[in-house]
Chains A and B, each alone.
Chain A
Amino acid sequence: MSVDKDTVRRIAKLARLAVPESRLEPMAGELNGIFQWVEMLGEVNVEGVPAMTSVVAQKLRWRQDKVTDGNQADALMINAPGGEDHFFVVPKVHE
């Protein structure tokens, strides 16, 4: 599996990263180097091996259904680069 310029463009789009046209080719090269190295995992027979879903042997902790949070619209907004009247503001979205 080889990563080309178009693949980098497609992944960059999925990841919402503006990668300048001039960086696509070199990035493809860098990624290829890494993926070629990773190919060695193909050597291992993983048949019947369960994929790890948690590294700790513990049951998921459950929370009680109580309202314990909220009412902090001001605190939510202090870091907002676009904010008005307790709303986050973004360029108009066309759905």
Chain B
Amino acid sequence: MNAPIKNKLLKGETGEWEIVIGMEVHAQVLSQSKLFSGASTQFGAEPNSQVSFIDAGFPGMLPVINAKCVEQAVRTGLGLKAKINLRSLFDRKNYFFPDLPQGYQISQYKDPIVGEGEVLIDLKDGETIQVGIERLHLEQDAGKSLHDQHPDNSFVDLNRSGIALMEIVTKPHMRTSEEAAAFLKKLRAIVRYLGTCDGNMDEGSMRADINVSVCRVGGYEEFRRTGSFKSLGTRCEIKNVNSMRFIAQAVEYEARRQIEVIEGGGTIAQETRRYDSKLGETRSMRSKEEAHDYRYFPDPDLLPLEFEQSWVDAIAKTLPELPDEKKARFVQGGLSSYDASVLVAERELADYYEELAKGVDAKAAANWLNNEILGRLNRDGLSITDVPVSAAANNSIIQMISDKTISGKIAKDLLDIVWTEGGDPRAVVELRGMKQVTDTGAIDAAIEAVIAANPDKVEEVKAKPKLAAWFVGQVMKQTGGKANPAAVNAALKIRLNLPDEG
């Protein structure tokens, strides 16, 4: 189901514009050691402590490839439903920068390890769109320069230098800032499911470069029909957008800027820009623009990267259930498409939900997770991985609600108790006598006690039947909240002889 194009347009002074967005995502490969050296990839170590002479570009040093990184790239390619290339080449990308010790980055240029694939993204309004993947290639990360330690100098730390990255390049298939953000979230979910990247944007494990252009209405359709980039506008690349939050802002700002420039009679220069999150704007990075000529050529220190289809097939067999498949299963189990897509966004959340929903109503479990568990996690600033009450324990609470052992209200109290004090919910219910009272004898006794204590109210209720609610409240109080409210209602109606309307 596709939403009308209208919703994807931006209004300018002279009419409406379409935004076209493509992305290059650098995802750090989850591995113990670097792509071409045995130095550790652990985050946050002392400066230059995780650096081999290979990573520092010392004379005579040679790269030797890490098998795990190759496997992770293939795994990711399979997760992106992409073509795996059984033969690929490593190239040198030549440029000078203090954090690039070899004077070149080993990357893959003409022949990447992974070719075309696709990612499905779910939007809030229920629309699902398909974003084409152009390629995925393996390459080395650069080191890090610190610029604010000294007035005249920069300090270079090579701990990151040589860590394996997967550069994932999309086709220009996104058309709103929401789609761009949703794509990155989905990609992050996929690599985290696969275990090929931790997706930690704060630590730089995932960084996005976003290509934005604008064109007149119809340009995008023409591009999709003909494949000709001429029907699209000139694009600008927003470098290193390092937070999910800023993606939509950066795209939005950049599209508006381009429209203003064009409507003001100017033209867009193809350039690299940086997003300043404090000012909420993109700025040209002219310094990086000067005559780039990377002089790519195959790295003579490495032979072509080759493997067998049977090896790829063996990896395919170990792939976990991915978000799309999981979502389909959840929907089949009774969840709405949107609820399901929210749950599968994080593998841990989906896993928790699955455990939680065992043998209970799917919708009830999803509601309990959304309203009670996530609410409390949010309040305590915790994530699903450090939830204090296990899914199994919560599952037993839901079971007790559905078999009427406890009321919905008691259930919330119960969750609060086990949340802070721990313990098995069923045992707590027993121990603290929290079971719902359905025994009519006990309820009748409580009603008699309330009537005896409030003879005046008995008279009033006959005139004002709405006062019955007050009686229900008193009876509940008398039973310590454990009486089944429906049973109390029914008994009161009979005892007070109230009319049978709602």
Chain A residues engaging chain B, CB cutoff 8 angstroms: 10, 13-14, 16, 53-54, 56, 58-73, 76-77, 82, 84-95
Contact = CB atoms under 8 A, between A and B. Distances in A.
Given A65-B69, A93-B97, 9 more contacts: A64-B67, A65-B66, A69-B33, A70-B52, A87-B156, A90-B156, A91-B154, A92-B147, A92-B154
A37 B149 CA distance: 52
Nearest to B304: A53
19 contacts: A53-B298, A53-B303, A60-B302, A60-B303, A63-B67, A64-B68, A66-B33, A66-B38, A67-B38, A67-B40, A68-B33, A69-B38, A70-B40, A72-B51, A84-B155, A87-B146, A88-B48, A90-B153, A92-B153
Given A62-B67, A95-B147, A73 B40 contact: no
B46 A58 contact: no
Across the A-B interface, the 9 shortest Cβ-Cβ residue pairs: A68-B38, A65-B68, A69-B38, A87-B155, A69-B52, A62-B67, A88-B156, A70-B39, A60-B303
Interface string B127-162: 000000000000000000111011111111110000
Nearest to B292: A14
Contacts of B293: 14
Interface of B: 31-33, 37-40, 46-54, 56, 64-70, 89, 96-98, 145-147, 149-158, 285, 287-288, 291, 293, 295, 298, 302-306
A58 B98 CA distance: 35
A93 B47 contact: no
Contacts of A85: 47
Chief secondary structure at chain A's binding surface = loop
Contacts of A60: 65, 302-306
A60 to B, nearest CB: 4
B49 A86 contact: yes
Contacts of B147: 92-95
Contacts of A89: 150, 153-156
A64 B287 CA distance: 40
B303 A10 contact: no
Given A86-B49, A93-B145, A93-B154, A63 B66 contact: yes
Nearest to A72: B51
A76 to B, nearest CB: 6
Select the residue from A59, A70, A82, A92 with max chain B CB neighbours within 10 A: A70
B295 A87 contact: no
A10 B66 CA distance: 37
Contacts of A70: 38-40, 49-52
Contacts of A73: 46-49, 51
